Each structure stands twice: as structure tokens, then as C-alpha cells.
Amino acid sequence: MESDIRPGERLDDLQLNGLELIQDPEKFCFGVDAVLLSDFVKVRPGENVLDLGTGNGIIPLLLSAKTQAAHITGLEIQEDIVEMARRSVSHNGLNDRIDIVEGDIKEAADIFKPAFFDVITTNPPYMLAEHGLRNPDDSRAIARHEVLCSLDDILRESMKLMQDKSRFYMIHRPFRLTEIMIKMNYYKIEPKRIRFVHPYIDKEPTMVLIEGVRGARPRVTVEPPVVLHTRETV
């Protein structure tokens, strides 16, 4: 495997079923949001999953261990990141369960068969393109800012790729929650579960996990929050 690690890359132990992930710190490394999303997602045995904007493939790898999905596909636009993710899939012996496809989220419904997926996941860019963007060609900027795709692009293409009653999972920032709810409803992906993530119990949430169901009736459940840290008592 050492020959598959390129200059500047590292091999990280995911502490899950022996899985390892190739990452390049100069590009973008996964964070706790990917782990939280993989825990929040519900996949039934035999279902087909699509991860939009998969980056280095962290979500497909985690879901391969945490679920009994029949097949998991990751879609990523950056050629060098696609190549790195594919090497991670091969390294873990998961070529039969995971495909990493190079392509644009805005064209996802043309790349894949319509109404094919049972579950769609995404850990999208949180920030609008104009918010503090420095280098729009930088991998980290692409991961954090809506440079190459918007929330509308993700929801529009997801709607086309989901079957009736298929499920959509996303982690995002609470400050955009109103916009997210309105747009999910517009694209016929009805919000069903919401879970806020707090750094500490007495701090406001910094992330929100959302499940939507294609064509479902309106009714949303707010689940108990996730609290990432506890304060030490003296």
C-alpha cells in the first residue's frame, strides 16, 4: 500500500472495522460532521446509496461498515480527489460495494439513472460563495463555500434521483435552517427528522442534521441534541 500513498498524503486509521483513509492535509481532511452524518443516516439492508460531493470518500467508507447497503456511490467533481478516494476504496477491498464517480452535482440526474437511489447523503458546502471566499480554485474553499454547487443544485438533482419515499440526509449550519426547510419543501423532499449538534450543552448549536423523505406528508420530529463535549468540573 505504501506505493499508493503520494507525496504529502497520509493514511489515517478510521478506528472502524480496520478501515483506513488516504488524506492530503493540503487539500481537505474530513471532520466530525462526516462522522455525525454517517451515524444519523438510516440505511436498510440491500439499499442503494448515493453520496453527493463525496470528497475523499469518507461517507461511503463509514457507511460500508455501519450499514448493510447493497451499494454505495460517491460523486465528486475534483479529478485529483476522485483518484485519491478510489485508492482508499481499493485499499480497503471495497471495490465491489463502493464506486467513486467523477462528475458535477449539477448534472447528477444525467449521470445516474433517475429515481434509482433509496438513500442520498450529502455534507455540502455550508457557506455562500461570497462569504469570506479567498481562492475559489482551492480544494478547501470548494468544500466550504458554494463555489461549484448550491443548495438548490443539491436538492433539485436529489429529487430527480430519489424514488417515492426515498430518504435524503444532510448536515448543515443552523443559520441556514429556514432556507433549507423552504427549499426542501419546494423540491418535494419533506423534512422528517431534525437533530441539532452543540459543542457544549450550554452553547448554541453549530450544526444541524436533517432527514427528508421524497413525497412524504408534512410532519417533522426534533430529536434530542448531540452534545460533543462536557466541561470538566473542578
* pLDDT per position as a tens digit, 26-54: 988 999 999 999 999 999 999 999 999 99
Distances (CA, A) of 47 to 52, 57, 88, 168: 16, 18, 22, 13
Q: How far apart are CA 42 and CA 61, in angstroms?
A: 15
Mean pLDDT of 212-223: 97
Give the pLDDT band (50/70/90) at residue 65.
Answer: very high
Task: Kindly report, residue by residue over 170-180, the tens digit of the pLDDT.
Answer: 999 999 999 99
8 Å CB contact between 108 and 120: no
Say if residue 211's pLDDT is above 50.
yes
Domain map (residue ranges) of the chain: 2-189
Residues 6+ apart with CB under 8 A from 59: 34, 37, 38, 51, 74, 121, 123
Interstrand relation of 189-198 and 162-172 (parallel, antiparallel or unpaired): unpaired
Confidence of residue 4 (pLDDT cuts 50, 70, 90): confident
Residue 139 is predicted with a pLDDT of 56
> What would the pLDDT profile of 117-141 be if each residue is shown by its tens digit?
999 999 998 665 555 545 555 655 5
Report pTM.
0.91
Using pLDDT thresholds of 50, 70 and 90, give the confidence band for residue 145: very low
- The C-alpha atoms of residue 230 and residue 26 are separated, in whole angstroms, by 31
| pLDDT band (50, 70, 90) for residue 217 | very high
66, 116, 132, 154 from 104: Cα distances, Å: 27, 18, 23, 10
Is the confidence at residue 116, as pLDDT, over 60?
yes
Name the CATH topology of 2-189.
Rossmann fold (3.40.50)
Q: How many residues does the chain have?
A: 234
